[in-house]
Copies of this chain bind each other. A is one copy, B any other.
Amino acid sequence: MIKEPTLILNEAIARKNIQTMVQKAERNKIALRPHFKTHQSHEIGRWFREYGIKSITVSSLKMAVYFAEDGWDDITVAFPVNVLEIDRINLLAQSINLNLLVESPEAVQLLNKQLKYPVNVFIKTDTGYHRTGVDPTNYTLIDRILEEVEKAELISFRGFLAHAGHSYDARGIDQIAQVHNESIARILSLKEHYKYRYPELALSVGDTPTCSRMEDFSGVDEIRPGNFVFYDLTQALIGSCTEEQVAVAMACPVVAIHEDRNEILVYGGGVHFSKDRIVEEKYGTIFGKVVTDDGLGWGRVVEGAYMKKLSQEHGTIYAPKEFIAKYKVGDIIKVLPVHSCMTADLMKKYLTTEGNTISMLS
């Protein structure tokens, strides 16, 4: 029985999301190296293994160590290498195939000075998101990085990697396609330029919006989406998925009802959901959408019922009067999260709709 804020996971939906992405990769004859920062769980990782996945992506060295402990031996840490964590890098490089990201000659030098075991590097490439990475037209900088890589006995050049994170600003398939096509064109120009010098170089791309909706990945070697395993309201807003494909919901106890202003106060706040928000045309800024209850699981999104405000432990749900009339203190309300990766990271475990508890990295 649910007594406090609990992250509910529908395994069947998550498995279907995994299977769909695996099939898309197979159709396109590209490798799928899913990003495990979304679920951060040994058990959910093993579901991917059942669909043939052998190599993965993570966002921190700590997460790489956690998954290496469960037998994953080909891991890309999709974050500009933090050379201060050289002990974890050496620990991993000693036993697994470790792929790191570099984007400056200085990072390669620092890495090289302290490495004890071989690693591969991708050059992190900025294909339009402008968070980080090298400009794909800046051959001078790329050549300087490659020069340092050549000098380093334990570092092998693997290829170019990009994350078109600006796809999160897209709304609908046309805008997703625009981000995808521009981003792919930019990284393909690098393969064109360097393929004679490095015939084996790989191109790695992949964010959930483009991987979910696009069909043409010609020239690309692998994709790295992560969020798709659960999806969330952000992805539904972008158009990567439907609300029915969202595999996680937060269950929150009702602690007070304010009928006069159409509000229900639940136990479930920013320390449970995270404070990620979306702006919906109908509702303005929201932090979640209410779904109907269905045993341990949930049903459809309730029109007009959403998480309006979050403070540390409190969540304020706005809902139609007829919805509010059905609830009383001590009941549970289920809410689809805005950003499933952040919510899972806070909740540290899952309760499946079959009643099983699944642990994750803590």
Contact A110 B80 (CB under 8 A): no
Within 8 Å of chain B (Cβ to Cβ): is A116? no
Contact B276 A314 (CB under 8 A): no
Q: A225 → chain B, closest Cβ, in Å?
A: 14
A2 CA to B62 CA in the complex, in Å? Answer: 15
Say which residue of B253, B261, B265, B275 sits within 8 Å of A274 (CB atoms): B275
The number of chain A residues with a CB under 8 A from chain B is 53
Within 8 Å of chain B (Cβ to Cβ): is A321? no
Say which residue of B110, B258, B313, B341 sits within 8 Å of A79 (CB atoms): B313
Decide: A265 near B131, CB < 8 A? Known: A84-B2, A271-B342, A328-B106.
yes
- By beta carbon, the residue of chain B nearest A255 is B80
Contact A60 B131 (CB under 8 A): no
Contact B80 A342 (CB under 8 A): no
Within 8 Å of chain B (Cβ to Cβ): is A16? no
Within 8 Å of chain B (Cβ to Cβ): is A53? no
Question: A270: which B residues are within 8 A, CB to CB?
Answer: 274, 276, 342
- Sample 30 A-B pairs with CB under 8 A, ordered by A number: A3-B84, A3-B85, A4-B82, A4-B85, A37-B312, A37-B313, A59-B312, A79-B267, A80-B255, A80-B256, A81-B255, A82-B255, A84-B330, A104-B256, A104-B329, A106-B328, A107-B255, A107-B329, A124-B256, A130-B261, A131-B265, A131-B309, A132-B256, A132-B265, A270-B274, A270-B276, A274-B274, A275-B275, A312-B341, A312-B345
Binding site for B on A (CB under 8 A): 1-4, 37, 59-60, 62, 79-85, 103-104, 106-107, 110, 124, 130-133, 165, 253, 255-258, 261, 265, 267, 270-271, 274-276, 309, 311-314, 316, 328-330, 341-342, 345-346, 362
